[in-house]
Structure 1
């Protein structure tokens, strides 16, 4: 019974139940949505969102934020697509995209940990820089006519209509989940976000951990860029625009607290699926997909407010418990006298 209670208290379960409720409600309005192929399309559409949400999770767990992940994705995608168009080996194009992500993440981490610039200011600034570089690099033109074989990777399905990229995402998420939960180094990210001063006192390298979080976030944005190129088949100067809000919303909806230290990449993955599903759900509800960003913003604000209220309630509860314990000790001492 205790295991069941603990399971239902987990933030990931709340996110999963939210996803399930969304699917069922849309299914009640439009039963055709519940066909397996439509569910699979929602999963397949989440492959990029999952990766950037997992990357963003590292940063948010440390109590920071990265508002440039969409621009990082767009820049890495532009580099990858350009080299593919010029018939470079696939491995070279992918490695160059990863290098772009790592460099961008390092720059963000350097600004936050070495220059001590607030992460929201630093990454808003680099967001503009990276976005500008995309325009310069592509000269504002589309990068298209990519190899058919590379574009076909995203169309390769296993288990019926389920894209193999989605399965790959789940494997990556599981490995990251185990790293963060089971290894000493992985636990540092949440420890820094939970209590930065306390983490420093027990010997955790706070600055190095935050730097690593931004670098990992950049790497995952680059991985997402590679999948984006394969799935979409072309890159424009605005590719990845708005993905930063999707990534942040996926993490928050998935149960990761914006104050840091709480949440898992499993929740971020579920949040990524929710973000990818919204536009498709709107189609089956016969509502314009123009409301996609509006709904995402509403969900983000609602979850942040709920999380803030829950944290306040938790603090008040802990304070009352400490006060009750002190009163009991005082009364016990008086009775003894």
Structure 2
């Protein structure tokens, strides 16, 4: 019965791909050996930068992983999320899903500074962020995957798209699926990439509705109310995965099966009879299946590119501003 259910899930996912608006496709513009000649030390420099960042604070791994996600869902993976506002330029950092939430920009700044010393003008900020996200996962005990490279940095940003495209902590399952399909990502990708919440923290303002909701049955939610009252304490934080908050494992899915998802959008994945509920159970039962699909889905997300960026983009000297 379980195998039949999972097979039906895969069939629904395959059919859903036909309504994708923007397919996640690298268009053969990316390659694994892109920096082999122009900056052969690129990957090792990025790795060293992430090792230093995580050694300073283990939470930095989750911060960089989140930055990458928020970058790719707006204009593709083009480093637009890294751009600062100026008197004549509006970036994405003040968008509702980003403001008071995204952190870790200085980690990418530090890595970029080191790369500019060795290979000036060679490695894009978009590529740095994509590789750093992979290394962040590894440093928290997660899987390795090969990262296709060669992205260009956008000279534009979109506050509107950041407010529209990025899922919110209170998103319904239908909204989550729609926003992932818009990026060319399947419900399988949705469930696997949501597993990034195996590490990191959430702010009270993002999980308040969950712990005070009528379906919040876990006793831990009652304890959280002390640090997340109905009014105030918006920036108080709690681990998204309270079982193993600094390890990339499948405890996140086990929490969901037991109705312990901290965010409404997390628990929505288990909606009865949904395409995603069987996937959650599958990853809760099989940690290797989660690792394998998470790796594949991270590549798919990292390959979301806007072809125009390869014509109009650049390699920024400073990730916070265009050249």
- The TM-score range, normalised by the shorter chain, is under 0.3
Q: Larger C-alpha radius of gyration, 1 or 2?
A: 1
Name the structure with the higher helix share: 1
Which has the bigger relative contact order, CA under 8 A and spacing at least 6?
Answer: 1
* TM-score, normalised with respect to structure 2: 0.24
